[in-house]
Amino acid sequence: MIGIQVDLELQDDTKHVLDVTWGIAYRWQLANPDQRLDHAIEGFKIDQTLHLVWEAAKTHGLTSKPLHQFVDDVRDWKVSTPKEKPTT
């Protein structure tokens, strides 16, 4: 894991916490070659952020729909870089 997570809520009321893998980040970067991943995390552009959410959902087996159809299934999302929990 690269320390990025997607919290995804779908229209059917299901909620998912998805780790962003290097593969997801790589595929996102190929589709957005002039952009930085931290901008997608900060939500600068909705299309780039939703593209990252879609890549994560697709990789984790939650959708096989193309992006333009998947967005209709999304109720809410958040992309974050959660802090590691301290070990005790």
Query: Among residues 31, 15, 14, 28, which one has the least CA distance to residue 56?
Result: 28
**pLDDT, tens digit (0-9, with 9 covering 90-100), for 62-77:** 999 999 999 999 999 9
**Tally of CA atoms within 13 A in the half-sphere of 74 that contains its CB:** 25
Q: Where are the domains of the chain?
A: 5-80
CA distance 58 to 3: 18
Q: Tokens 């697709």 correspond to what residue?
A: 58
**pLDDT, tens digit (0-9, with 9 covering 90-100), for 29-86:** 999 998 888 877 776 788 889 999 999 999 999 999 999 999 999 999 999 887 755 4
